[in-house]
Amino acid sequence: MTEPVATEVGRDFIRDIIQADLDQAKYQEIVTRFPPEPNGYLHIGHAKSIALNFGIAQEFPGRCHLRFDDTNPVKEEQEYIDSIQADVRWLGFDWGKNLFFASDYFDRLYEWAEQLIRDGLAYVDDQSQEEIRLARGTLTEPGKNSPFRDRTVDENLDLFGRMKAGEFPNGARVLRAKIDMGAGNINLRDPVLYRILHAHHPRTGTKWSIYPSYDYAHGQSDAIEGITHSICTLEFEDHRPLYDWFIEKLPVPSKPHQYEFARLNLTYTLLSKRVLTQLVREGHVAGWDDPRMPTMAGMRRRGVPPAALREFVKRIGVAKANSVVDVGMLEFCIREELNRTSQRRMAVLKPLKVVIENYPEGQTEELEAINHPDDPSAGTRKITFGRELFIEQDDFMENPPKKFFRLSPGNEVRLRYAYFVKCTAVIKNDAGEVVELRCTYDPATKGGNAPDGRKVKATMHWLSAATSVPAEIRVYNQLFANPSPDASNFAADLNPQSLEILADARVEASVAESNSTEVMQFERQGYFVRDRDSTPGKPIFSRTIGLRDTFAKEVAKG
């Protein structure tokens, strides 16, 4: 894993611009917005944009709006509107009263479109989508004027009104801006402002048969809301001249400026909503909140603390050049936060039974375990020791290599908070697999130290067989096995080992009984959180993240 370089927070080119604007008294107040299209769940890329827009409103005098860019009813749903609000709140940001929808402006946008027609700046085009595409030209060739470009104002107004009234089928006509089919910037070659779409809209119902394009709606929505700095990702840089064209030609109440920054890309991750939607619809994952998804809902279910996401986006900073961030950086931030905040418990993921032969049958004793090594206020808890225990299968080797210091025949180790134990015999099944160990313990080492000063090289976690409780543990790994998955053929890059189910794990009884969704550290294993699939008889825990970055090493080994 690359160790993250701490970046100075609060210094990036957008904040510099805002500071300069304030120094020149250009604005009384800075107004930003986060403008999601409600056609999917938010992902970690959106977290970057949310933290930037809402963060600016916190750092400077100002406010940040949450505005749904709901201009395409075919793909938008109330479920997404609701999840987006929940996710922004979960991340720790608040829009207060400033919740808006582009659909609130449909009437005004329509009137402004009529105004463009009256000013000779827009026309109804009867060409098909395909004809329009072909006549648009290329980067090196100019486009061709539409045969309908010179319609009279009256004819355009009449046709546009009838489009709105629902007289024509989908795709029959569009309204286009009349700019310049020879413009070097293809976005200025008579872009489409309205298309016919007989579709039910989550908010406006069946009122509209035409819907504005993103390009037409976005800047005007910003202007209506008095947005001062309209911050978006780099792919909209070439749209800025069009954004400015509308702002100049229309009687808008304010003149926002658009600024572009680089979107977040992460290794082993795809952040396109198209791909995420397909992952869900095609059943590659269990839903939008599957813990392997890079969605905020998935990360929340997986136990990722919102503070870790905020720290992550702070560290990566805001730049103008596209780059790919190592997912190890995100994991580092999650581990740092969880190491600080989560209580320690013991769980055995793959149990191996151990019988302590010299421990009296029927006897048990309570030992004291620390809940957080760096936080005494987290207190202690009792754990039960007895004659029959479970340890981790991986902590025993019958024929260990040289550097294996954990349990092996004749070798002594420490059971955390308990005693030194030594393995005296190995019991196998007919298949030759180790199914049980016989050990002895040294009663003088209670608490984990030998009075004679002898040392052991390993301390292992364990659970008592009698008091621990069966549980299912879900170990999640990267969803994609390829560090740069191919968005156009992502199924080929899926990691077949992204979910490992350990059905026979054991946990401390108190862990199983609690309904808490606080993340816990299972000692020596990682961070885990109770999953909502748990039932009273069968608690289920998801691994938020392991203690160390083993994945990168495995990949390097090949």
Task: Order across the sheet with 122-125: list the strands.
Answer: 122-125, 174-177, 192-196, 210-212
Between 81 and 378, CB nearer to ligand ATP: 81
User: Is residue 36 within the footprint of ligand ATP (CB under 6 A)?
Assistant: yes
Tokens for 153, please give them: 């104002």
49 forms part of the interface with ligand ATP (CB under 6 A): yes
Question: In the complex, what is the shortest distance from the CB of residue 475 to ligand ATP, in angstroms, rounded to a whole number?
Answer: 27
Catalytic choice (75, 136, 263, 446): 263
Rank residues 264 and 437 by Cβ distance to ligand ATP and give the closer one. 264
For residue 232, state whether it binds ligand ATP (rule: CB under 6 A). Answer: yes
CB of 290 to ligand ATP, least distance (A): 17
State the Cα–Cα distance between residues 164 and 192, nearest whole angstrom.
15
Name the residue whose CB lies closest to ligand ATP. Answer: 45
3-state secondary structure of 506: strand
Q: How far is the CB of 49 from ligand ATP (least distance, A)?
A: 4
Q: Does 233 interact with ligand ATP (rule: CB under 6 A)?
A: yes
Residue span binding ligand ATP (CB under 6 A) among the ranges 29-37, 145-153, 196-204, 428-436: 29-37
What would the two tokens of residue 224 be?
């209506």
Give per-residue burial for 478-489: e unless 16+ CB within 10 Å, then b.
Answer: bbbbebebeeee
Residue 125: CB minimum distance to ligand ATP, A: 26
Under the binding rule (CB under 6 A), the answer on residue 264 touching ligand ATP is yes
Q: How many CA atoms lie within 13 A of 235 on its CB side?
A: 3
The yes or no reply on residue 77 touching ligand ATP (CB under 6 A) is no
- Which residue among 57, 174, 250, 271 contacts ligand ATP (CB under 6 A)? 271
CA separation for the pair 304, 326 (Å, rounded): 17
Q: Which of residues 525-544 bind ligand ATP (CB under 6 A)?
A: none
Instruction: Output 45 or 485, the one with its CB closest to ligand ATP.
Output: 45
Q: Does 344 bind ligand ATP (CB under 6 A)?
A: no
Number of Cβ within a 10 Å radius of residue 316: 20
Is 37 a residue that touches ligand ATP (CB under 6 A)? yes
Between 143 and 191, CB nearer to ligand ATP = 191
Residue 236: count of CB within 10 angstroms of its CB = 19
Q: Which is nearer to ligand ATP, 37 or 336 (CB)?
A: 37
Residue 319 C-beta: closest distance to ligand ATP, Å = 11
For residue 282, the 8-state DSSP code is T
Determine which residue in the list 14, 18, 30, 46 makes contact with ligand ATP, applying CB under 6 A: 46
Regarding 35 and contact with ligand ATP (CB under 6 A), the answer is yes
- Kindly state whether residue 212 participates in binding ligand ATP, applying the rule CB under 6 A: no
To ligand ATP, the closest distance from the beta carbon of 316 in angstroms equals 10
For the CB of residue 322, give the shortest distance to ligand ATP in the complex, in Å: 10
- Cα 410 to Cα 395, 414, 436, 495, distances in angstroms: 14, 13, 15, 40
- The least CB distance from residue 36 to ligand ATP, in Å, is 4
Query: Is 273 labeled as catalytic in the residue annotation?
Result: yes
At residue 501, what is the residue type? I
The reply on whether position 391 binds ligand ATP by CB under 6 A is no
Q: What is the DSSP letter of 304?
A: -
Q: Residue 160 CB, nearest distance to ligand ATP (Å)?
A: 27
Shortest CA distance to 331 belongs to which of 48, 527, 532? 527
Among 15, 30, 45, 217, binds ligand ATP (CB under 6 A): 45
Asked about 131 being catalytic, the answer comes back as no
Report how far residue 256's alpha carbon sits from residue 550's, in angstroms, rounded to the nearest whole number: 47
Identity of the residue, 46 or 164, whose beta carbon is nearer to ligand ATP in the bound complex: 46
Which of 207, 209, 206, 205 shows the shortest CA–CA distance to 197? Answer: 209
- Please tell me whether residue 208 adopts helix, strand or coil conformation: coil
Given the residues 15, 33, 151, 273, the one annotated as active site = 273
Residue 444 buriedness (CB in 10 A; 0-12 / 13-18 / 19+): exposed
Comparison of 264 and 293: residue with beta carbon closer to ligand ATP: 264
Q: Does 270 bind ligand ATP (CB under 6 A)?
A: no
Angle made by CA atoms 478, 479, 484, in degrees to the nearest 5: 85
Least separation, in Å, of the C-beta of 438 and ligand ATP? 56
CA-nearest of 337, 382, 239, 300 to 47 is 300
- Number of CB atoms found within 10 A of residue 451's CB: 9
Nearer to ligand ATP (CB atom), residue 271 or residue 469: 271
Q: Which of residues 244-263 bind ligand ATP (CB under 6 A)?
A: 263
Give the closest residue to 542 by CA, choosing from 471, 443, 485.
471
**Identity of the residue, 79 or 357, whose beta carbon is nearer to ligand ATP in the bound complex:** 79
Residue 60 C-beta-side C-alpha neighbours within 13 Å: 29
Rounded-to-integer distance, Cα 304 and Cα 41, Å? 16
Residue 273 within binding range of ligand ATP, rule CB under 6 A: yes
Q: Specify the residue, 271 or 327, whose C-beta has the smaller distance to ligand ATP.
A: 271
Query: Number of residues in contact with ligand ATP, rule: CB under 6 A?
Result: 14
Taking the C-alpha atoms of residue 467 and residue 444, their distance in angstroms, rounded to an integer, is: 24
| Cβ–Cβ < 8 Å for 339, 526 | no
Examine the residue annotation and report whether 263 is marked as an active-site residue of this protein: yes
Whether the CA torsion 437, 439, 445, 451 is positive or negative: it is: negative
Which are the catalytic amino acids?
Answer: 37, 263, 273
Residues that bind ligand ATP (CB under 6 A): 35-37, 45-46, 48-49, 232-233, 263-264, 271-273
